[in-house]
Structure formats: structure tokens, C-alpha cells
Structure 1
Amino acid sequence: MKIVFFSTKSYDKEYFEKANKEFDFIFIEANLDPITAVVIPDGAVVCCFVNDAINEQVIEVLKSKKVRLIALRCAGFNQVNLEAAAKASIKVVRVPAYSPHAVAEHAVALLLTLNRKTHKAYNRVREGNFSLERMTGFDIFGKTVGVIGTGKIGATFASIMLGFGCRVIAYDPFPNTELTEKGIVYYPLNELLAQSDILSLHCPLTPETHHLIGQEALQHIKPGALLINTSRGALIDTLAAIDALKSHRLGALGIDVYEQEEHLFFQDFSDVIIDDDVISRLMTFPNVLITAHQAFLTSEALEQIALTTLQNIRSFNEGLPLANEVTLNKN
């Protein structure tokens, strides 16, 4: 069976080839779209990532290519038109969990870097500037940390922050009993926003969570709070966040995801002008830290992504139940 990978990077090739025993791989660097889809051999499996927009037009091309399976090598599936896939009798599988520690630890890295300004210290010292002016942070110990979304990643982040000596509170329509047993209390969203010195987002992107942190939510946020997002870009209304930063309502922002990231992330624009005024504005703030969707990027996570993706495809090929299938009803 042939598997066609889109949005391929060097680490994809390395870890999938290491995990492979029986499949034929075709690696394509370009994103999947109606034009690039024409290279797919008939009957192949298509393997995609977060920035491959699998819309109705792409589904039509896949159907004409007799594609029966889309294997996402990521947890998120909001980039897939599931209704069109179902109508075309194309099944969709994903990797629901690979390394919650990878993403949770990156959220902590963003928090620590923003707070203690280690990224600025690195640049200063390399330029011979050993001044400590404007480098003051705060003790994380004893602060109130609000965790929004307490699945595997959110629960891991919450446990890490307990280790820092923080008071951890949470918001999730489905409370995690393991966290309540650790003393973590769940609050309504607006109450959590008002109490939290630090906020971290760990929920999926759904119609209900789209712009969860928008203009209204930011009115409830504790003045000067630090906000971290390693989940999905559109959980935050970026323009509203910019206004909150300008008014000093929001103390700092650390993001590994961005609303319009499919036009930017995983590509090198260092020699061209970035045609995105919103992210360009964000990058002017000294209290904003942006990484390019790298929270997942650990060797352990990449290994698990490859193993789970290939097992998903193997199960489909052998007619076995698809434990990680994404459907309109199940997800």
C-alpha cells in the first residue's frame, strides 16, 4: 500500500521511515490542496498535518483518486471537512495523543521565558550587554494558574504547575477526577479568568471554543495576567488580544499557535516581507513570545506519531476496528 505524505519535513521522513516495515512512502513537501492532490496514485492513503486544508474541493479530488483513508498525523481535525469526507466514503483517522508531556512542557517553557525574559537575556549578553534593566520577573510559586481544558495535556500541565507550588484551578465542561483528587477546583470560565495570574489553554477547537478568549472574556481577565496558548490558534481572538495588550489588561502573551498560521508556520520567510499585518503587529510587543507550532516537536512525540499513524493505516488495511477514527458523531 502506498502512503502519500503532504507538508513533509525532514523529521517526518526520519521517524516514519524508522517505524516503517511494510508500506511504500511518497513524501511531498507541499501542502495538500486541489492542485497538489493530482499527484496521488489511485487507491493510496493520504497522510496530512495541521495546515493541510482538507476541504470539499480536496475531498472531491481524493474521491476521484479512489482514496479511502485520510490519516492525520496530528490530534486536531478541524482542518478536515468531515461531512464531505463521509459523503465520499473516505474514513479519517488521527493521533489523539502522542506526548502530552511535550506540549505541556513547551507551555511551561513559554511561561518561564516570558516571565524571566531569558530570550532577551540571551540576545543582550551576545551583544555584550550585561545590564539587568527591564528584566524583572515574578515568582511563579504561590501564583494562581488557570487551566482551560483538562484532557491529557491540560492535566499534565496542571500537575507540573502544582509542582511549582502554584494554586491550580480549572475550567472544563467535563471535570477530570484525577485532578479534583489532587485538590484542583473547577470554576465557571469567567470566575477562573478573574482569579488567574497565569492562564493556559489546552482545549480543542470546536464551534463552541472558537474565540473562547475574545473581547468579552478579556474583560473578565485579571489585570496583568499572563496568557499561554499551545492548543489551537483560533481559541484566541487575536485582534481582541492585541487591544488587551495595548490597554495593559493582558500582561503578556505566549503562543505556539496562531489563527492564520497555515499561511506562515512551517515555512521560511526570513528573506521576504511577511504579508500578515496581525502577526507583524504582535511581534512588535516586547511582552509577546511566538513559537511556530513546535510544542509537539520532541523525539518521543515524533516516534509515537509515526507508530500510531502507521497502526491506524494497518488497522484500516486489515479491516480491523479504527480506534482513532474521526466521525461527525464521535467527535
Structure 2
Amino acid sequence: MPRILIAEPKDFSPKVIAHLRQHAEVDTRAITREEIPQALRDYDVFWFRLGWPIDERVLNENSRCRILATPVTGIDHIDEALCDRLGVKIACLRGEREFLRSVRATAEMTVGLAISVMRHIPAAAADVEAGCWHRDDFRGHELYERTAGIIGCGRLGNIVAGYLVAMGMKVLTFDPRPAAVVPPGVERLDSLEAVLAQSDLVSLHVNYHPGTHGMIGSQELAACKPGAVLVNTSRGGLIDEEALLAALQTGQLSASALDVLADERNVHKDHPLVAYARDNENLLLVPHIGGNTYESFTRTEGFIADKVLAWLSEWGNE
């Protein structure tokens, strides 16, 4: 039987594990980065989330692995060219638009982050936990009748746009793709700068690749409406973090909420944004938990399992 290693097993769906075990030998154990090369030599399928990069340091001609299973949409943690050369398939969620319409976790998180930072919820909660009740210190802003700018009108951007329209916001969007579909009640503008200049809240929903790396830099932040709020639940590499820090310090941005950072494997207490957030309530950072719900895990793991088993079945019939 083919061998599958689920290398990030915490909260993995027992139902999906049982389904996989009807067709394969399945091990569920957390491994270290140093153990990845051996795991790729021992298993046909290596199942993980975002825990490690998969590149030539761990994957090579001696690897047994034929499938990398990662239930996420962005796969910048995997060297795709290397996988193509070695004939390793990648089972992921990229491009699975029909299925992904039912996965709303990151879209909900986007709205939650916006409200949290605009209403000072983390700072207010910390104030109460410190034994205080300084109600007047935490006056915030509403979303109603303000303007939101959605950058990228793909699946998640459109879901978030729909939520914000329902909350009474005027919603603008920019997407350079002519075929991108804009949902009802949303106005599409011709340039990124035009959206930034008019938006009280800017939310990023763009695929990360070399062409979008650092797409929000000092020039784009200067083009933002003064006092705007920037939310990113996409990928950290979309933002020039040094420029973001400067925009927060000068007040060009009133606040920002980030679920992602550019180099998430090297986050530490002295990271410039982490250090700033520790002393300033206008930056809210959370550790890439946008899609991290029990519901989304169960749905996506089941979907990826079907993909993996279909490929294994094809190979078994060759």
C-alpha cells in the first residue's frame, strides 16, 4: 500500500484520516525540519500545511515522495519548478474556485481584523485584564458609510466585498485582470492608486508571486487616503514592511492588521513589526490564522484527500 505521512497532525480531521486508511498506510506524527529529507525518502505522500519550505535542500532524486499535499491556496513555500522536474505532484487548493466558495474562514477573519483594530478591541481587553475600565480611551470608528478598497477581486476579495457591502460600506475594487468578475454593489476602478486614494479601509486579496512582491510599498502607502487602515490576510510579501512601519509611525496609516508577514519562519520578539506592535495599539499581528478553523480544516482536508487518493489510484492502475 502507498504510505502517507501527515506531518502536521494537530487538529487533523479523524474522519479524513479514517478515509485515507481505507486506501493507504497512514502515519500521523509531527516532525522537525531536520527530519523532512528522511520523511520524503520514506513516504509516497507528504502532507503538511505551512510549516516548512520544500526545496532542493530536502527534496531530490532520491526522494520516494510523489505527492506533496498542502491544503492551502498559496504554495510559495514549495519549489514548483523542482517538483515539475522530479515529477512530484502538488495537491493544493489553488484554482479550486468552485470548492473554495464554501470556505469562508479567511474572509470572516479579514472583517474581524478590521473591526478589531478600528475599535481597539485587543487594547481595550488588555486594559480590563489589567484591572482598569477606561471606556473613553478606546473610542473607535465604524465601518458603516465608510469606503473600503478591495485589492484583488478573486474569490476571497469578492466574499469580503460582499460582507462589507452588507455592513453598509461603499466598496471599491482594483484588479488588473480584465476577466475578473466584480460582485453586485461593488465599483471597479482602473488603477490601484485610485482605490487607495479613496479608501478608509484597504484589504489585500492578491496571489503572491514575483510580480506582486512588495506591491504595497512607500509610493502606494503615500497614495493612501491619510488615516486609512490596511488589512492583509493574503501573503506578507505583498507589503514592503519597512515602508509599512514608516507609514504607521507618521500617521499616514492610522492602523494596520496583519495575519501574515513576509518571512514567517523567522518571526521573533525583536522583529521590527513585532517590536512596534508590542508598544503601539495601531498595529495588530496574528500568526497566519485566517484559514485556521475546524470547519475549514475538515472541508479542505477532505477535498485534498480525494485528490491524493485519485492520483494514487491512477498510479496503481498503470
1:222 maps to what in 2? 225
TM-score of the superposition, structure 2-length normalised?
Answer: 0.89
In structure 1, the partner of 2:86 is 88
Q: Deviations over 1:35-56 (max 9, x none)?
A: 5321345452111222321112
Which residue in 2 is equivalent to 1:327? none
Distance 2:234 2:203 in 1: 9
Secondary structure of the residue aligned to 2:257 is strand
Cα shift at 1:15: 6.0
Does the C-alpha gap of structure 1 residues 275 and 25 become closer, same or farther in structure 2, counting only changes over 3 Å? farther
3-state SS, counterpart of residue 279 of structure 2: coil
CA displacement at 1:31 relative to structure 2: 5.0
| Matched residue, 2:5 | 4
Letter in 2 for 1:297: N
Shift of 1:169: 0.5
The reply on whether 1:135 has 2:135 as its aligned counterpart is no
| Structure 2 unmatched runs, 5+ | none
1:277 Cα deviation from its structure 2 partner: 4.2
Rounded to whole Å, the distance in 2 between the matches of 1:184 and 1:71 is: 37
Q: Distance in 2 between matches of 1:206 and 1:53?
A: 15
Aligned to 1:297: 292
How far 1:176 sits from its partner (Å)? Answer: 6.7
Which residue does the alignment assign to 2:302?
307
Q: Deviations over 1:270-308 (max 9, x none)?
A: xxx735344223433211111111111222201112111
Rate the CA distance shift 1:42–1:191 in 2: closer, same or farther, 3 A: same
Report what 2:276 is aligned to. Answer: 281
Q: Judging changes above 3 Å, is the alpha-carbon distance between structure 1 residues 174 and 15 closer, same or farther for their aligned structure 2 residues?
A: farther
Correspondence for 1:326? none
Give the drift of 1:253: 0.6
Residue 15 to residue 37, structure 1, CA distance change in 2 (3 Å): farther
Matched residue, 1:55: 55
**1:289 match: secondary structure:** strand
Matches within 5 A, 1:160-309: 160-174=163-177, 179-264=182-267, 274=269, 276-309=271-304
CA distance in 1, matches of 2:272, 2:69: 33
Question: Quick one: structure 1 residues 28 and 163, their matched pair in 2 at CA, closer, same or farther if it must change by over 3 Å?
Answer: same
User: Which shows bigger deviation, 200-209 or 168-177?
Assistant: 168-177
- Name the CA shift for 1:177/1:238 in 2 (closer, same or farther; >3 Å): closer
Where do residues 103-118 of structure 1 align in structure 2 (5 Å cutoff)? 103-118=106-121
* Farther-moved stretch of structure 1 (254-263 vs 194-203): 254-263
AA partner of residue 241 (structure 1): L
Deviation at 1:224, TM superposition (A): 0.6
Which secondary structure does the structure 2 equivalent of 1:56 belong to? coil
Task: Describe the superposition over 1:159-188 as per-residue Cα deviations: whole angstroms up to 9, x where unpaired.
Answer: 000011111000112257653543432331
- 2:81 maps to a residue whose letter is E
- C-alpha distance in 2 between matches for 1:24 and 1:2: 5
Q: Do the aligned partners of residues 280 and 29 (structure 1) sit closer, same or farther apart at CA in structure 2, a change above 3 Å counting?
A: farther
**Residues 196 and 225 of structure 2 are in contact (CA less than 8 Å); yes or no, is this contact kept in structure 1?**
yes
* Cα distance between partner residues in 1 of 2:255 and 2:210: 26
Q: How far is 1:69 from its partner?
A: 1.5
Shift of 1:127: 3.0
The structural deviation recorded for 1:112 is 0.8
**Hey, what's the Cα distance between the residues in 2 that align with 1:189 and 1:105?**
24
Pick from 58, 62, 65: which aligns with 1:64? 62
Unmatched 5+ stretches in structure 1: 265-272, 321-331
Q: Is the 8 A contact 1:31 1:52 kept in 2?
A: no
State the alpha-carbon separation in 2 of the partners of residues 70 and 234 from structure 1. Answer: 23
> What amino acid is the match of 1:11?
D
Alpha-carbon separation, structure 1, partners of 2:209 and 2:32 = 23
Distance 1:21 1:45 in 2: 13
Give RMSD over aligned pairs: 2.2
Q: More displaced, 171-180 or 214-223?
A: 171-180
2:90 partner SS: strand
Q: SS in structure 2 opposite 1:213?
A: coil
Deviates more, 1:112-121 or 1:195-204: 112-121
Quote the Cα distance in structure 2 between the aligned partners of 1:122 and 1:12.
Answer: 31
Give the direction of change, closer, same or farther, for the CA distance of 1:206–1:15 in structure 2 (3 Å limit). Answer: farther
